[in-house]
Chain A
Amino acid sequence: MPEELYEIEANIPANPIEEYLRMDRMPHIWCPGCGIGTTVNCFVRALQTSGLDLDKVAVVSGIGCTGRVAGYMNLDSFHTTHGRAIPFATGLKLANPELKVVVYSGDGDLTAIGGNHFIHAARRNMDITVILINNMIYGMTGGQVAPTTPVGATASTTPHGNFEETFNLPFLAESCGAVYVARWTAHHVRHLTKSIKEALAKKGFSFIEILAPCPTLYSRRNKLGDGLDQMEFYRDHSQIKNGADTKSVAIDFQGDIVVGKFVDKERPTYLEAMNNHYQKKYGDRYVPSEEMRKVFHA
Chain B
Amino acid sequence: MAEVAEQTKKAAKGSVVISAERCKGCGFCVEFCPPEVLELASEYNSKGYHTPILVKRELCTGCDICGMVCPDFAIYGYIMKKKSKEA
Chain B positions 39 through 72: 1 when the CB is less than 8 Å from some CB of chain A, otherwise 0: 0000000000100000001100000010111111
Interface residues in B, total, Cβ within 8 A: 36
A156 interface residue, CB < 8 Å from B? no
- Contact at B68–A190, with CB atoms within 8 Å? yes
Residues of B within 8 A of A8 (CB): 83, 87
Known: A2-B11, A26-B22. A36 touches B83 (CB 8 A): no
From the candidates B17, B26, B83, name the one contacting A227 in the complex (CB within 8 A). Answer: B26
Indicate which residue in A1, A18, A190, A228 contacts B26 across the interface (CB closer than 8 Å). Answer: A228
Chain B, residues 1-45, CB within 8 Å of chain A (1/0): the string is 000100110111001010100101111100110000000000000
Q: Which of A67-90 contact B (CB under 8 A)?
A: none
Interface residues of A in 230-272 (CB under 8 A from B): 231-232, 235
Residues of chain B within 8 A of A35, CB atoms compared: 71
B58 touches A189 (CB 8 A): no
Contact in complex: B69, A38 (CB < 8 Å): yes
| B4 CB contacts on chain A under 8 angstroms | 2
| A292 touches B (CB below 8 Å) | no
Q: Contacts A5-B82, A17-B76: A37 and B68 contacting too (C-beta < 8 A)?
A: no
Interface centre among B17, B73, B76 (most CB of A within 10 A): B73
Interface flags for A271-284 (1: CB within 8 Å of B; 0: not) read 00000000000000
Residues of B within 8 A of A (CB): 4, 7-8, 10-12, 15, 17, 19, 22, 24-28, 31-32, 49, 57-58, 65, 67-73, 76, 78, 80-83, 85, 87
